[in-house]
């Protein structure tokens, strides 16, 4: 099993991708990582570490796609970037998966272009992890498809259910359609049509509302990429906001250092459910390959977990199960 890692992606390359990759091979003795990026900086970073050299490959890709670059433009003009080269190696069968904490748009565009779609898939989709009281669940689509149609929504639900089963180990993942009310017949004409399509779907629990997400009423939340992206980024802002609110509240009260420390400890534990490091990356479902993207700020732990998800996706043959389910 070889997983290619974008060593020039994210806010903290090459350090975090390299460290995460080395942690991953330490944890999994069957794994080899293929670091893709400017060879010189990768080797310099590797020199800081001790590792099993037989299981760490390096492939030079001298160009770097910045986090804010226009995705389509970057993919077109930077053919020697880690993203384009890494996905090319995956396509050519030189590795089993590609993970990146780099420019999300560029990774999506390049994945679509280089890997293509799985048989029967209308449109690939980003299924984002979402923190709930029950653990991480999936929000699909999280921004790759701003408009969705009934047929694509139905495929998104099926693909996310399979990922939920195989990677999150939820036996019968429940699908909910994000809407303005619970009753059938709520929402726009498009949502009503999507509801009708999902109705025959296994484990469809009907419409769910904004208040149902954090309690984890469903396991897969279906929505268009506009709603998904706004909800996703909103959720990511919660821990910092809660910390700030609690910080202000503490300031207004007279508390000893010990009391403040206690509160911080509890808060830290409570908000750990929101910690994306533990899941590490979000899969681009429906492409003919395994392409996982993480936050720009991914820590080594997050990168390690992205690699782990990639390994499981290959081992569980998620793509094979998607093709079987759709065709």
Contact residues for a copy of itself (CB under 8 A)? 133, 143, 146-147, 178-180, 187-188, 191, 209-215, 223, 225-227, 229-238, 241-242, 244-246, 248-250, 252-253, 255, 259, 262-263, 265-267, 269-271, 273
Closer Cβ to a copy of itself, 187 or 289, answer by number:
187
- Using the minimum distance from each CB to a copy of itself, give the nearer residue, 18 or 222: 222
Return the bridge partners of 126, or none. 284
Instruction: Give the nearer residue to a copy of itself in terms of CB position, either 100 or 132.
Output: 132
CB of 194 to a copy of itself, least distance (A): 12
Q: Which is nearer to a copy of itself, 179 or 319 (CB)?
A: 179
166: CB partners within 8 A, 6+ apart = 312, 313, 316, 318, 321
Least distance in Å: CB of 295 to a copy of itself? Answer: 12
Q: What is the largest CA-CA distance in the chain?
A: 64
CB closer to a copy of itself, 102 vs 289 = 102
Shortest reach from residue 238's CB to a copy of itself, in Å: 7
Q: How near is the Cβ of 207 to a copy of itself at its closest, in Å? A: 11
Quote the least distance from Cβ 68 to a copy of itself, whole Å: 9
- Shortest spacing between CB 181 and a copy of itself, in angstroms: 8
What's the closest the beta carbon of residue 197 comes to a copy of itself, in angstroms? 18
Nearer to a copy of itself, 248 or 327 (CB): 248
Q: How far is the CB of 137 from a copy of itself (least distance, A)?
A: 14
What is the SS3 string spanning the chain? CEEEEECCCCCCCCHHHHHHHHHHHHHCCCCEEEEEECHHHHHHHHCCCCCCHHHEEEEECCECCCCCCCHHHHHHHCCCEHHHHHHHHHHCCCCCEEEECCCHHHHHHHHHHHHCECCCCCCCEEEEEEEECCEEEEEECCCCCCCCCHHHHHHHHHHHHHHHHHHCCCCCCCEEEECCCCCCCCCCHHHHHHHHHHCCCCCEEEEECHHHCCCCCCCEEECCHHHHHHHHHHHHHHHHHHHHHHHHHHHHCCCCHHHHHHHHHHHHHHHHHHCHHHCCCEEEECECCCEEECCCCCCHHHHHHHHHHHHHHHHCCHHHHHHHHHC
CA dihedral 180, 183, 186, 192 (to 10 degrees): 120
Sheet holding 56-60: strands in order across?
Answer: 56-60, 32-37, 2-6, 97-100, 291-293, 282-285, 125-132, 135-140, 220-222, 175-178, 204-208
Q: Based on CB atoms, which residue is closest to a copy of itself, 190 or 312?
A: 190
Indicate the residue among 98 and 274 with the shorter CB distance to a copy of itself: 274
Question: Min. distance of Cβ 206 from a copy of itself in angstroms?
Answer: 15
**Closer CB to a copy of itself, 183 or 317, in the complex:** 183
């Amino acid at each position: 099993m070889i997983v290619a890692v974008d060593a020039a992606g994210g806010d903290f390359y090459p350090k975090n991708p390299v460290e995460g990759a080395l942690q991953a091979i330490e944890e999994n003795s069957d794994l080899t990582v293929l670091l893709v990026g400017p060879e010189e900086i990768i080797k310099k970073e590797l020199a800081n570490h001790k590792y099993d050299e037989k299981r760490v490959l390096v492939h030079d890709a001298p160009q770097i796609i910045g986090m804010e670059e226009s995705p389509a433009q970057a993919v077109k003009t930077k053919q020697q970037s880690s993203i384009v080269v890494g996905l090319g190696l995956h396509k050519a069968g030189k590795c089993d998966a590609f993970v990146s904490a780099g420019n999300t748009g560029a990774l999506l565009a390049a994945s679509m272009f280089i890997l293509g779609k799985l048989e029967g898939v209308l449109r690939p989709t980003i299924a984002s992890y979402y923190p709930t009281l029950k653990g991480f669940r999936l929000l699909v689509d999280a921004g790759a498809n701003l408009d969705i149609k009934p047929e694509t929504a139905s495929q998104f639900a099926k693909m996310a259910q399979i990922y939920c089963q195989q990677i999150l180990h939820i036996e019968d993942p429940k699908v909910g359609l994000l809407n303005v009310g619970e009753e059938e017949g709520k929402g726009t004409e498009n949502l009503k049509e999507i509801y009708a399509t999902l109705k025959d779907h296994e484990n469809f629990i009907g419409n769910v509302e904004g208040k149902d997400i954090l309690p984890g009423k469903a396991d897969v939340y279906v929505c268009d990429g506009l709603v998904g992206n706004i909800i996703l980024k909103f959720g990511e802002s919660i821990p910092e906001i809660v910390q700030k609110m609690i910080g202000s509240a503490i300031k207004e009260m007279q508390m000893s250092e010990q009391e403040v420390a206690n509160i911080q400890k509890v808060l830290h534990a409570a908000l750990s459910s929101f910690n994306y490091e533990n899941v590490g990356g979000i899969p681009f479902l429906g492409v003919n390959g395994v392409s996982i993207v993480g936050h720009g700020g991914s820590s080594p732990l997050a990168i390690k977990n992205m690699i782990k998800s990639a390994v499981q996706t290959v081992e569980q043959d998620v793509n094979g199960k998607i093709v079987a389910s759709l065709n």
